[in-house]
Structure 1
């Protein structure tokens, strides 16, 4: 159940992530397309072509995010953005304003790629930008910037990178906190606070799941309904704290005697329900006898008092076309028979 909650939150996070990437694709397409149109009246045909190519790439990334891989779409967006920025820094863009666009790279990188990979990419990106700007003109001719502009551009970009990383870290921590909080509340809603076993609601959900599996795979399913004998006398003689200790210690014994795929639940008061998938009534009887014997041999020490307790168990196996309520009622009738026959026994046994 906790896993399903995490999957649900992750699915919602992925959906939001996909929407942001799709939105960025559309915005990138619109801006680069508009800039391409404006540059038609300029002197650089190369810039015009590159802007229209970038616009087409963002449009393709939008359709990829809708129909195909979100990871592929994000990769296309990031690296086409890097290439466009490299060209704008190298060429200067319009009136040497090309480098001003590099500031959008930091938030997009850490959001699309994640914090760690985004920071690695930004370090490489800034290194390439720095090489382009400080590359001597005699090596290759490119846009020329003043030393003051270069220094301030780098420092501003580092500041933007720090703020973007801080925001992304906070966003990731918030997501983890939501997952942890949801898991905690889900656990509280589905478990008994005293024994830490599954509660009645949780057990009912497990029974429905197992019944569906029985219908699919035609496998046996058995339940044990267990009740503590003369438990009221323990509370009356030693107090409710002693009764709580008895319930907690017996819960541990119950858990130790079942398999990983089994479910032990506090069904109500001093009643416990064992759900045993892939188990026939005969196999359930063997398990029940082991549990009964272990409880009989166990002593609970409370304030130097030795408390001995026994249990009675009713067994029922799910039959064809039987409902969950009918299964539990059958186990309850067998539990009643165990008590009628003298307690501290398994029925049918």
Structure 2
């Protein structure tokens, strides 16, 4: 739906902005850290940070100039994993490198979502455990006190849990917003009883049709009314009347061409918009609808009844306003009912 697509597009735009901002901040921070590493004569760390800064700069360029949001997010998150693992392995400056790993959970969950983000975090935890707890005899790596390693892991897991809780809440709120938007869109554009488009949506559709109308192949409208509908309500009750409206709505939808449009105009009235259809062709469509309805039995209280419809027909021409177009079709409908109902009548 159009409004739902707008909301999803807004969410995608918001994500692109966050990715761009994170890329820019990551590029700036790693560049500053690289300068400190150069000052401290730590050439390996400086090269690693310079490489990370370039990667973040590439990610920023891709999302900001090429609109490659997904590719940029992958570059960011996996380069972040690599940098954090290196800082844990090397110790960074004065063995403070592992303290940077706390930025992993929120970024990972935001980029990958809850399920995949948690899987990646679990793999990341496994890798840093392997780095920190495997004895030095296997390979050389930074040495940390056991108390530091355990508290680092406890804190990281706590931050991961809180980040997952936040991401779950954010995702739930976003999904609920999409559902509400979908519900409001349906209420605004569809009739709750019949499932057809409603009057408001039909007016929008008519305005769109008028804006693109082709003089060589105009469109036509049908204004349809169920004959003696009040008698159905009086005899069988309003719930039976609702059943008749619902049943006929299904008949209309299955009887029309793919390019045609039908809406509940109000009460027992229906409006049809026939694209690229002149008045003669519209009359043929109206007659087919009228005959189909007449031949379609409707079961009410173990009794099959048949209802009829009257139809007013009007072809659009550029001299008519929307109100005039509807009024012409309404007058034709009134005349069809005056002449005895169960008939289709075009305007002169």
Which residue in 2 is equivalent to 1:71? 70
Distance 1:233 1:128 in 2: 77
Match of residue 199 from structure 2: 200
Q: CA deviation at 1:124?
A: 3.2
What is the CA–CA distance in structure 2 between the aligned matches of 1:269 and 1:137, rounded to whole Å? Answer: 83
Identify which range, 84-93 or 254-263, moves more after superposition.
Answer: 254-263
Q: Greater shift after overlay, 93-102 or 129-138?
A: 129-138
SS of residue in 1 equivalent to 2:92: coil
Q: What is the CA deviation profile of residues 136-165 of structure 1, one whole-angstrom value per residue up to 9, with x for unaligned ones? A: 423432211234433443343333333323
Report the Cα distance in structure 1 between the residues aligned to 2:124 and 2:200, rounded to whole angstroms: 54
Q: Which residue of 2 aligns with 1:282?
A: 280
8 A contact 1:213–1:219 mirrored in 2? no
1:213 positional shift: 4.4
* Residue 269 of structure 1: aligned partner: 267
Matches within 5 A, 1:287-302: 287-302=285-300
Q: Deviation at 1:326? A: 3.7
Indicate the SS of the match to 2:195. Answer: coil
Partner in structure 1 of residue 110 of structure 2: 111
- Between the aligned partners of 1:137 and 1:153, the Cα distance in structure 2 is 19
Query: CA offsets per residue over residues 250-291 of structure 1, 9 Å max, x none?
Result: 223222322344322111222111122244433333332232
1:317-344: CA deviations, max 9, x gaps?
A: 3345654334323322322332232211
Higher mean C-alpha displacement, 176-185 vs 194-203: 194-203
1:142 aligns with 2:159: no
- Does the CA-based 8 Å contact 1:214-1:220 persist in structure 2? yes
Helix, strand or coil at the partner of 1:95: coil
Distance 1:314 1:32 in 2: 73
Partner of 1:84: 83
For structure 1, the residue ranges without an aligned partner over 5 or more in a row are: none
1:316 paired residue number? 314
Matches within 5 A, 1:13-32: 13-32=11-30
Contact 1:32 1:54 in 2 (8 A): yes
Deviation at 1:20, TM superposition (A): 1.4
- Aligned residue number for residue 246 of structure 2: 248
2:183 corresponds to which residue?
A: 184
Instruction: Give the TM-score normalised by the residue count of structure 1.
Output: 0.87
Other structure's SS at 1:145 match: coil
Q: State the partner residue of 1:258.
A: 256
Counterpart contact for 1:266–1:273, Cα < 8 Å? yes
Name the CA distance, whole Å, in 2 between partners of 1:153 and 1:168: 22
* Segment drifting more, 323-332 vs 92-101: 323-332
Residue pair 1:191, 1:202 contacting (<8 A) in 2 also? yes
Q: Determine the C-alpha separation between the residues in 2 that align with 1:56 and 1:13.
A: 27
What secondary structure does 1:251 align onto? helix
TM-score, with length taken from structure 2: 0.87
Q: 1:207 to 1:234 in 2, by over 3 A?
A: same
Structure 2 distance, partners of 1:259, 1:165, is 50
Q: Give deviations 1:68-110, integer Å, cap 9, x for gaps.
A: 1122322222122122112211111122111111121111012
Deviation of residue 194 (structure 1)? 2.9
Closer, same or farther in 2 for the Cα pair 1:77/1:314, shift >3 Å?
same
Q: Secondary structure at the match of 2:271?
A: strand
Task: Give distance in 2, aligned partners of 1:44 and 1:102.
Answer: 20
- Aligned mates of 1:299, 1:112 — CA distance in 2: 57
Give yes or no for the alignment of 1:131 onto 2:92: no
Q: Point out the more displaced range, 172-181 or 131-140.
A: 131-140
Name the SS for the 1:194 alignment partner. coil
The aligned counterpart of 1:42 is: 40
State how far apart, in whole Å, the 2-side matches of 1:73 and 1:234 are. Answer: 63
Task: Measure, in 2, the Cα distance between the counterparts of 1:166 and 1:32.
Answer: 29
Is the alpha carbon distance of 1:126 and 1:237 closer, same or farther for their aligned partners in structure 2, counting shifts above 3 Å?
closer
**Alpha-carbon distance between aligned partners in 2 of 1:234 and 1:172, rounded to the nearest angstrom:** 49
Name the count of aligned residue pairs.
346
Q: Report deviation, 1:172.
A: 1.8
1:242 positional shift: 4.1
Report the alpha carbon displacement of residue 219 of structure 1 after superposing the two structures with TM.
Answer: 4.7
